[in-house]
Structures are given as structure tokens and as C-alpha cells.
Structure 1
Amino acid sequence: MMHDRSVALAQADHPVPRAHRGGALKMCLVGPPTVTDFEDPEVAESEAIRLIAEHAPIGVLSLAAVLERHGVAPQIVDLNRLYYAYLRAPGEAAAKPDFCSYVAAELDKLDFDVLGFSSICSSYPLTIRIAQDMKRRRPDVPIIFGGPQASVVDVPTMQAYPFVDFVVRGEAEETLPALIKTIAAGASPAGIQGLTYRDGDRLVRAPNAPIIADLDAIPLPAFHLYPELKDCHYVPLELGRGCPFACTFCSTNDFFRRKFRLKSPEKVIEQMRQVRDVYGITTFDLIHDMFTVDRKRVIAFCEAVIATGETFYWNCSARTDCIDDDMIATMARAGCKAIFFGIETGSARLQKIVKKNIDLNEATARLVATDGNQITTAVSLITGFPDETMEDLRDTVHFFVDSLRFDFAEPQLHILAPLAETPLESRFRSQLVFDDILSDMSHQGWRQDPVDREMIQQHLDIFPNFYSIPTPALDRAYLRELRDFLLNGSARFRWLLVALHQDSGDVTKAFEAFRNWYAATPDKGPRPGLQESRYYASITFRDDFFEFVRDVYAPRLARTPRVLHSIMDYERALIAETPLPADTAIDGHDVSDITLVPKLVDGVVLTECAADYQRIIRCLRRKGDLRRIPRKPATIATRQHADKRLDVVLLSPLSAQLLKLCDGERAISEIATRLVPASRSMANIPTDKVCMFGLEVLRQQGLIALHRESAISASQA
């Protein structure tokens, strides 16, 4: 394949690394970043983003271990960690260099002979720019690209960017060591499979390398090269490779060529033990797109883990039609805590079109089983398919909201990204448009760097995931806003969203009514980017939506306003304003001392609901008739801890009455005189004894503390 002559002349010869001072050849492996689009430090530092970012870069660590076996001395650079160092560096943001220059300067401090970059689609422009800067700084250092994105756009990448010397395609455990050996010897890479390289003015794309058949032969990732592992919540370990299915939007089957493979249970358990014994971590993300395809091997793995008598916790991915209730129960016993389910669409029609072919009733049944086994499930859905209609979209939205009825389900909604070389991208390549309606399907954030944008617009063939496939029947701006509404609404007021859906029959009606109300409300001022993700991620959105439900939806549109008010009151109570500094120990006072003054512990919030909240939730779980919920006032106490744990207590009438009297001013003796027995069973018990018993229960629950003097006396002192 020929490319531009001027590019060829500039790179006619293979770069030869500078002579290294004896010992092994030194290679620097750079992991791909996933959080660099979140330029707002507050967003990047949020718990949700940090959980994505602060994990070991398993791909380059695995290759590092392989290279060590071949006498190469690797070092690892994690761009996610480097990005946090960049954000936290002192000085004004405007005075800092751009992140690309910052990374290049940091890499330039290191000693290496070869530089390798792993790649993913969302940050591929940044990876290319860093590589360009490094080639300018060190022209003699060979630059190698690998990973999912570079593998599928190898030729257009090397045509457009002459500073990329090699692309290692697909599984690299054999190709990369062979290439490094060739580079060290100053020889031609001809004959190395799975490699794209330059030969004079030609690009040579060698045949694909064979897949790695024996995954047990791959060593434990080189975690010793990643000192930050001690700070990680979990450790990723590869469980297997390959997916036998052929979904039209997915790139996995291309990268691993659809050949399904699993490591043996013995090897996986051995590696889990190694990590536990060295690093003290017992939670693992077992990486395989389709672990549960082979039922016998899944059961064999689970039984092997159970037989060890050791405690390991793990997550995995599965199809809902390749798993059953008995398997889920066995997985739970073996330590499975989370499963990723790719449902993709709630439309039975689209299931066939995109070749996912999942039975949606069966998928719901699997959510029932995982919920019953307390396994957290990511329910992944996608919208924005080219054949999608409004009816299809509503089906997907309904599946999303119905998933919220399960405590352990965490639904996701993504906008379709046309991933390079997938059947969908190939079919619609000539129709792709650059409309700034970004997908988060591949970790894309809210913006691109202006330089990245220019690259993207110049090279559709390299960066198609930043483009959009037209949706003739749907407004893509509407899709983006609906996605942001659902994702942030489910995070901030989960049960209110479910109740609105059940009350209206279609939560999109409530969404559209909210948009219309916002646009027509003068005191809102200029719209704060209502169609932008930043607005929906803000506290302002939550407060605006509560105002809308209280003042507009409940009184004018709702069939069950009392239920909506009760749920909204409860959701508002969960927003604790003063978290406890620590778990409050029970004080040493005795409630029999009637001179003591009880007071609510800081962080405790009382909320009055117009109906029994727990009964409402039971009704929502089973899709019952909300109109049958009776008016029954109830009081709820919430208490947030410093570690963000939240205690929620539905108070008995006695407890509610007592807590309202515990204002920090009244002593126990005065409270007893004001207490009215809440039931006939207590009518013959002395009020002071009822009072002391109730206060002791509340103290044991951590809702009140006893003091020697009232809050007024203390303030006057």
C-alpha cells in the first residue's frame, strides 16, 4: 500500500535506538488515558471518575511481564495517574502547559530505548500528539503503537502520521518481543506477523499473528512495576479472550478474532493468590467480554474457588442468555459481586437488527436473580442506532427505568459510537457526520482539545468514533439530553424517577414537561446550557427538578400526587447537609438521669412523608397500583456518616414523637410530661418509663446523644 511520497522520504529508514549502556534494552510502555477529557478538576476528582481512572493499566502491565521474560527492561507510565498529577500541580491553570506537552516533558525525563503506546478510541488523538512531541524530542527512539484502536486503523494512522514507526496489531504477546529483538539487532522486521511497518516508501501490513491459544502461558502482569497498586480498590486480571457473537456495533470480535478462550481455574486462582499475598488485595475485575458462554467452565471455576475455602471477590461480564439462575447463585457463593450485562436495547425489533438477539423477558429474569443474590449488575443500554424509531427509544427508556426497581441494578445509557471497522461503521462510513453529540460509550468526556478536533475533522478514517451515524427518526440533541436526564436523575432521585414513570406510563413525558417548564419559567434566567451534560450533572438540575415536580407535575399532571410528594420528601432527606465526623459512639450517660438533655446527633435529618414510604417502594418494585397507597403520615430519620454510608430508619410513632421533642433544650423530665402514649398497649405503663425506654432505643440507634445542659445554656456560657 503506497502513501504520500514526502512522508515516505522522511521515514525511509527504520529508526535505530540510541546505544544503551549494556544490559537489557529499555522500553517505556504508556497506557491509554480514560479521564483526560474531564478538564474540570472537581469532576475529574469525583468518586465516580476516580473509580474509572485509578486502576492498574492491565494491558501494558501484561505486556511488560512478557517482555521481561525476553530480557527487555520495561517501565510503565499511566497517563491517568499523570493527569491527576497535572491537575493537582500548583499554579494557575492558564499558566500551565497543555497536558500533551506536560506528558512529553515527563516522558523525556525517563531513560528508554523504545517507546510504546497502547491506544483506545476515545483518547487516540492525544496519544498521537504525545507521540509526535516525543519524536521531535528523541528522533532516534522508535515509536510503536498497539491496542484496540491502532490495530484497526493502522494503515491510515501511519499514512497520516510519519512519526509512528510500527503498529503491533491484535494480541501482541508474540509480535512485540519479536519486534523488539529485531530493533535491538538493527534488522528488518520482515517476516514478523501482526505488524504494520515502513519499508522505504511502502507500508507493509504483514499477515495477522496467530491468536494466543494457551492463555495460561501468559505470566502475571508486572504489578511490581506499578507502585500505585497499593492504592487501588481492585485489581484487573484477564480471565479469557474472544467473543463468538457478532453484534454489529462491537469491536471486540475483530480484535480477538472471535476465538473464545479461557484461562484454567487453577491459573486464575493462582494469580489471585499472588496478588493477595503480595499486595493484600482480594477484589478482582476478571476481564473477559463473555465469560459465561461455556457453562461447564464457569461452574468449574466457581467450584474451584469455593473449594479453596479462601475469600476472593470478583466482577465479570456476561450475556443474559448465557447465564441462568442456578449459575448466578453458584457465582455468588464463589465471591461474584458484580456482573456487566450488555443488554444494548430495550426494543425487541432492534435486538434483531443489531444482531444482539437477546430475549428481553429473559434478561429481566436474570436481573431478578442477580438482585436476589445481591450481585450488582451494570445494565448497559445504547441509543442512537440508525434504524431506531421513537417507539424503539421508549422501549429502551422503559427497560432502563424498570431496571431501577432492583436495588442492585445500575442501568447505563450510552449514545452509539461508530467504532472503527465494525459492521455498523463500515456500512454507514460515507454518511458519518461531526455533530458534537459525543458518545460516552467509549469513555469520551464533554469536550475535545481544539487541536484534537482539527485532527478528528481531517481524518474521519482514523477517528470515526467521534462522528455520528444519522438517526432519521430521532433528534440526536434530544437523545443526548434525555440520556443526561436519565443518568443523573437515577443517581440523584432513583425512586422518584421510577414513580414518575409508573404514574405517567412513560418517563419521557415527565422529561419533556420539565424541558417545557424550564424554557417557560422567566425567573430561571438564561438557560444554563440545559442541553449540556454539565447542567444535568449539577446540583442545580436536582433542585430545579424537585421544584418542577412539587409545583407543576404533582398538582397538575400526576395521577398519584401524594405518592410523588412522599417519595420526593424522602429523596430530599437523603441529601444530608451535615455528615457525622465519625461513627458516634454511645455516650456514657444513663437515661434514668432525668436531668439530662437529649439532642439529635449532627447529621440526623427528620422527614415527614404523606404516606408509608416503604409501602410505596414495595408497590413500585412489583409495578402495583400506586392509587391504592393510603394516606398514612410517616416520619423517616436519615443519618449520613463521614464515609458516605447512609442509615435510613422508618420511625415508629413513639420514636417520631420523641425525636421531635429532642430539641436540645428540654430535659428528659420535661419530655416525659409532654409524651402521649402512641398505642393502647402502652397506656398502662408510666409515661416516664416509656420515655426512658424510647430514648434508650434512639440512643442505641445513634440518632440522639445525651448532654448535661441544654443548647441554650451552652450557648450562653
Structure 2
Amino acid sequence: MRHVRICLISPPTVTDFEDASVAESDAIRLIAEHAPIGVLSLAAVVEGLGHPLDVIDLNRWYYEYLRASGHHTEGRNFCEFAARRLAELPVDVYGFSTICSSYPLTLRMAQEVKRVNPRATVILGGPQASVVDVATLREFSCVDYIVRGEAEVTLPLLLGALTADGSLAGIEGITYRADNKIVRTPNAPVISDLDTLPMPAFHLYPYVRECRYLPLELGRGCPFACEFCSTNDFFRRRFRLKSPDRVIGEMSRLQQQYGVSTFDLVHDMFTVDRKRVVEFCEALLASGKTFYWNCSARTDCVDDELIELMAQAGCKGIFFGIETGSPRLQKSIKKRLDLADAARRIECTDRHGITTAVSLITGFPEETMEDLRDTVHFLLDSLRLDNAAPQLHLLAPLAETPIHARYRDQLTLDDIYSDMSYQGWRQDRADRRMIEAHPDVFPNFYNVPTPWLERAYLQELRDFILHGMQRFRWLLVALHQQSGDLLTVFDAWRAWRHSQGAARRAHGMDSSVYYANLSFRLDFLRFLRSDYLSTDDPAQLAVTAMVEFETAFDPPDAAATEPEGAADTAGVASEAPGPVVLRPDEVLGFEAVPRLPDRVRVAHLGIDYNCLISCLKEKGNLAQVPRLPLVMAERRVDDHTSEFVQLSHLSTQLLQLCDGTRTVRQIADLFGTLDVDVDGIAPVKAGVFGLELLRQQGVIEATQPVPQPAA
């Protein structure tokens, strides 16, 4: 057998985000840093055959493209950038892994690689190519072979036949051309013992030492048959798990080699076999090692006792696919969850500090407004939990799923893309032309009929809720609790927005771009103040206070934030050293000068904010939240994160004395002259203690003047 140079290429998942500021956000970067576990698993097998091997992560290339100068200004898109780099590699075989969202981009790259290097062999694998194999080979001559399903056994057999000029007839699980006909061999059997597979080839991944966490495969296959899910076809519904010893051994090895202790344990349905989950958790605890991990589960395949054990064993995140809050639709889509039980499981994970993704979908063909309302209610109830992270997606008819098969002849293309199949705001024109020409290859970009619901309404509702959660989570919960139905608030807001022409003012943005922009936040708060909230309704007073709270911490404009006198002092060098900010571990002396840091802002409210949040969490009576004047302080941790502190009356009085000129001694003396109740403690002593508390909370900082040299 001759050796050939092989390049395995992971499917891109972040290339939809052409706005650099969005692509560089923490949430998207977390996606990009996910090492391509499927490609690395294949790489380990191919490496064992002795073939020279390259592993390409297109997500990482995309960030190189975004950061490189000139590409946008020269009109060079990422497809051209990546295809040129791929074509320049001295490669004999290109192996592209595929997913539905970036399948058009993958095929465009394959076309360009084949054009530049026509003698190279192009092989596709992965979920999308596996289910649209015949249509792909029929429409795209650049593709030579498709490996369907699990490829760790099939790909080596195919490579062996290609390098030895052997026959393909006996290889199961491949699709190819022969004598101008498309040949589809029988499906290959699934790999029954996953422990026989080699460890993924992380050593071939150039970015492994940059990863904050690493993915590891727990198992494959799901025994359930949800109408919208494509997992069933790819893994043949054969549920399999790796042994605890195998998984923990890989975790230990990776921790030793790369210093990583956090793992994304990949399996669509890890908790189907409760006994095996218990064995895994107990083995982790018995190992004496500390690992943190995330997994996926169904709410009807866990219980409170198991969740507690998982938390003890290091579980920090669970993905729950709830799909719909409608009991009727639960039966229709064959998910069949007990929603009350699902809510209890989510509450249990929250109690144990496990971050829980609560995934919901809208846009099912049978869905009515009442079904949608049930889904929104379930989402908002989850939003009350500190550790819950609800999601709302538009349905995509994934290829060869039961929903796709049922509505194959009724699909339409309306530019309202599901974020299950496409993430970005704009569809590349070349991708669009390809999608229009080949609906059988790209059905996930189309939509099924929704006779009872307008798709534009669903898209805007999704954007409203998802961006609303990011910008004012508790305000959404408060509005839902006060009104009894967030959809009524959304309908009123939508009507107001269109009557005010907010979209036109936002420089012609489409709906998704508008909701991701600060304009949405500013417009929505203005709508609530001017048109929605009433000062006569006691329940609405709490919501009004929430709006005041949100408005108080809106970033002021640049002119307002420019320090007074900055223009007069710019460029003037200081002859004497300035004051030094005390570290938290340093003692707050009497001569230190407390002041409000630039990163801290304060606002006066007329309601007990902490009480309000507790009321929302417990679904209490908003009209009974205490009204009292208080001060909230916002401390900006970074550009994306803030922490809030509700100040007591005494803390507020102390803060008012911190004018940036008074020393601790002077403030304590002044505090002692006030009429304050400090439970018998000397007022001066209480003042010093209160200043130290404010400093530890990050509300104030203290500077110590640098001693001046003697004249």
C-alpha cells in the first residue's frame, strides 16, 4: 500500500458571523474554541495507517481571516481565503467533515480545491453528507466519495482501496460514482465497542494548548425518535457508552499533557442508562481527581438523586432539549416529556449550581398561538433560575428527518433562517444561489408550512426574547409576571416599534441585526416608559422601578463621560507622582482618600431591588414589594459583565462623603456627627468599618498619597 498525504478538515461553525465584534464575543469564541472531536477521532485512526496527515480547523482559520488586514476591503471572502490555503497544501486526499449549517460553504471550498488540484481526491463525511449523499454526488462533480455514518472503520477501508487500486464493491457505508452511475453500498454496522477506538489525536491539533476545555466522546446513539432530530439516522439509534475507566483515563491523560481539567463530554443522551451514569460518577469520585464536565440529557432520564451525584462528581453544565412547552406538541413531535417533571429537574440542577441549557423550538407545522404561548411561559419560568440558560430556536427541516420527509414537497425559501441550521444575519450570495438550485441538498435552509403562525412573527419574537435576556433578563421576567403573558407585551411593543419607525431609524437594519444592536434596548425602554407602564397600577410600580434601574445604568454618551478639564490638561506632564490605589489586601489607613472609581456608577431607586428579585424568583405579589429610597451601585467587571450591589442606608451616607478629597479620618469624623444608629458602636469606628466594606465590595477604591521628598 502506498502512502498518501491526507488533510482532514473540520466543518466551520462560526463563519456566519461576518461582524468582527460579534465573532469576537465570548459566546461565539467559546464555540470556536471547541476542538473538532469528530475529525480528531478520525485523525487517530488515519495516523495509525502511517499516512502523513494534516488537521485543519476552519473556525481557527476564520479568526485569522477576520483579523488579517485587507481581506474585507479587497472584497476577498472567507471561502476564497480558505480554499486557496487548502489548495496550496501538498495533499493527495481532502477529507471534509460536514454539518448542515456550513454545507454550502464546504461544497464551494471543495469545488475550488478540485479546480486548482484536479488530481486530488475529495471525500465528504459527517452528518449532512451522510443523509444527502446521492443528491450531493448527482449535483456536485467535485466530490468523489462520501463516507456515511461512523467512519473510523469505513474510511481506512476506503483509503486502503484507493492506495492499492483495489475494489470498492465490498466496502459498506460509502457512496461513489462508477460507470457514470451513483453506487450506494449497504450501511456499515455501527461500532459496538467504542473502547476499541484510539484516543482522539489531540497532539495533531495545533491549537490544543490554547483550549480552556476539551471535548471527549462519552458514547453514541439515542434510542428515542423525535420527529425533528437527525441523530437517529446517523447513529442508527444504537445507544452505546464508553467505559468509565476509558473516559476517566483520557481525562487524566489530557490533564497531565495539557493542564486541562474541564471537559465537554459528548453524547446526545448520556443519561439513558442510569446505572452507567452512577458508575461513571462514582468512578470519578473514587479517582480522587478533580474534573469539571458538561453533558446532554433528557429530563425524564434523570432524577434529583442522580443530579446531586453528578454535581458531586464535577458536573457543571447540562443541556436539556425540552423543545416545546406545549403538552399537545410534546406528543405530536414524539418527545413525550412530562413538562411539570421537566421543570422540577431544571429547578434541581439550579439548586446544585449546574448551568442548564433549556432548549426550546418554535415553528412546528402543527403549532398554534396557544402552543407558542405555552413555550414562552416555560422559557420565562426557566429564566427565573440563576443557573438556567434558556434558548429559543426556529425549526429547521433537517434532511431525512420525519418532519422533512412529511413536508418535502411543501418547503419554501423565505430568507427566515433557523439558527439550528444557520447562525448569521446575511446569507452569502454564492451560498444563496447554491441553496436555491439544490433544495434536496440543503433542505435545512428552507421552511415547513406553519399555517397557524406567521414566520416573520416567530423570527422577531425569537430575536426579541434572546437579545432581551442578554440585555435585561429580570425586566423580561417582571413584565411576564405583571402581565401574565409576555406575548401581550411583545405584541404591544411590536406595534409601537413599527408605528414609531424604529427599524428605519436604525440605519436600515433588518430585524435580527436591529435586535442585536443597542438601539433595541434604548427603544424598548422608551416604549415602556412612554406607552406601556401606568403609574396608577400598584403591580406596575415594581416594573417601573426595574425600568428605572435599567435606564440608570445605560452608558452615557462620550461627551458626558469626558473628565471635566481634560482638554486643559491633555499632554501636560506631571512633575510629581500621583496617588497609589491600595490593593484589597492592604490596610485602609486614616490618611487614605476613598473615592468612586471610574468603573462604578450609582443610581437612586424607589424600591427594594433585592426584594423585587426575590419576588420574581418566587412568583410573589409584585404589589407587595417594599417601596423605599435606596441606592444601587454598578461595578463593571469588564466590557460585557457588571456586578450590582444594593447599598444600605448607612453605606449610602458614607458614599456621599467620599468626594475624592476627604481622607478616611475626615469622613469618619463627619460620619460621627450624623444622626445614625450603629447599634452602640462608636460612630467613628463604624464609619471606618463601613468604608472598608464598600472597598471590599468594589464600590469605592482608596488612594494613598505618595510622600513628597523633603525640600
SS of match in other structure, 2:9: strand
Cα RMSD (Å): 2.3
Check conservation: 2:503, 2:514, Cα contact below 8 A: no
State the 1:262 CA deviation: 0.3
- Which residue of 69, 94, 110 corresponds with 2:48? 69
Match of 2:570? none
Superposed, 1:272-671 pairs within 5 Å as 272-521=251-500, 526=505, 528=507, 532-555=511-534, 560-572=539-551, 585-586=583-584, 590-593=588-591, 596-642=592-638, 646-668=642-664, 671=667
- Which residue of 690, 693, 697 corresponds with 2:689? 693
State the 1:447 CA deviation: 2.1
Check conservation: 1:530, 1:536, Cα contact below 8 A: no
Pair 1:197-2:193 in alignment: no
Check conservation: 1:234, 1:281, Cα contact below 8 A: yes
Hey, what's the Cα distance between the residues in 2 that align with 1:523 and 1:85?
A: 36
Check conservation: 1:311, 1:335, Cα contact below 8 A: yes
Match of 2:66? 87
State the 1:624 CA deviation: 1.0
Structure 2 unaligned residues grouped into runs of 5+ = 562-579
State the 1:488 CA deviation: 0.4
Hey, what's the Cα distance between the residues in 1 that align with 2:501 and 2:47?
A: 66
Hey, what's the Cα distance between the residues in 1 that align with 2:480 and 2:281?
A: 38
State the 1:584 CA deviation: 6.7
For residue 137 of structure 1, what is the amino acid of its counterpart? V
**CA 1:221–1:557 in structure 2 vs 1: closer, same or farther (change >3 Å)?**
farther
Hey, what's the Cα distance between the residues in 2 that align with 1:24 and 1:273?
A: 33
Hey, what's the Cα distance between the residues in 2 that align with 1:555 and 1:530?
A: 31
**CA 1:694–1:132 in structure 2 vs 1: closer, same or farther (change >3 Å)?**
same
Hey, what's the Cα distance between the residues in 2 that align with 1:289 and 1:524?
A: 39
Check conservation: 2:503, 2:509, Cα contact below 8 A: no
Match of 2:39? 60
State the 1:549 CA deviation: 1.9
- Which residue of 106, 111, 116 corresponds with 2:85? 106
Q: Deviations over 1:592-633 (max 9, x none)?
A: 34xx53211231222222111111111111111111112122
Q: Deviations over 1:453-481 (max 9, x none)?
A: 11111111110000000100001000000
* Percent identical: 56
Task: Please give the TM-score of this superposition, normalised by the length of structure 2.
Answer: 0.92
Task: Please give the TM-score of this superposition, normalised by the length of structure 1.
Answer: 0.91
For residue 385 of structure 2, what is the amino acid of its counterpart? F
**CA 1:296–1:653 in structure 2 vs 1: closer, same or farther (change >3 Å)?**
same
SS of match in other structure, 1:346: coil
- Which residue of 665, 670, 673 corresponds with 1:673? 670
Hey, what's the Cα distance between the residues in 2 that align with 1:127 and 1:522?
A: 39
Moved more, 521-530 or 28-37: 521-530
SS of match in other structure, 1:190: coil
Check conservation: 1:576, 1:605, Cα contact below 8 A: no
**CA 1:559–1:447 in structure 2 vs 1: closer, same or farther (change >3 Å)?**
farther
For residue 381 of structure 2, what is the amino acid of its counterpart? D
Hey, what's the Cα distance between the residues in 2 that align with 1:278 and 1:686?
A: 57
Check conservation: 1:126, 1:452, Cα contact below 8 A: yes
Check conservation: 2:503, 2:511, Cα contact below 8 A: no
Pair 1:154-2:133 in alignment: yes
Check conservation: 2:10, 2:39, Cα contact below 8 A: yes
Hey, what's the Cα distance between the residues in 1 that align with 2:404 and 2:676?
A: 68
State the 1:570 CA deviation: 3.6
State the 1:97 CA deviation: 2.1
Match of 2:152? 173
SS of match in other structure, 1:321: helix
For residue 649 of structure 1, what is the amino acid of its counterpart? V
State the 1:101 CA deviation: 1.7
SS of match in other structure, 1:648: strand
Match of 1:11? none
Hey, what's the Cα distance between the residues in 2 that align with 1:353 and 1:529?
A: 39
**CA 1:159–1:608 in structure 2 vs 1: closer, same or farther (change >3 Å)?**
same
Moved more, 183-192 or 152-161: 183-192
Q: Deviations over 1:377-423 (max 9, x none)?
A: 00000000000000000110111111110000000000000000000
**CA 1:676–1:550 in structure 2 vs 1: closer, same or farther (change >3 Å)?**
farther
Hey, what's the Cα distance between the residues in 2 that align with 1:181 and 1:98?
A: 36
Hey, what's the Cα distance between the residues in 2 that align with 1:389 and 1:332?
A: 38
Hey, what's the Cα distance between the residues in 1 that align with 2:581 and 2:247?
A: 38
Q: Deviations over 1:95-153 (max 9, x none)?
A: 14222221121012212211111100111011111111111111111110100000000
SS of match in other structure, 1:93: coil
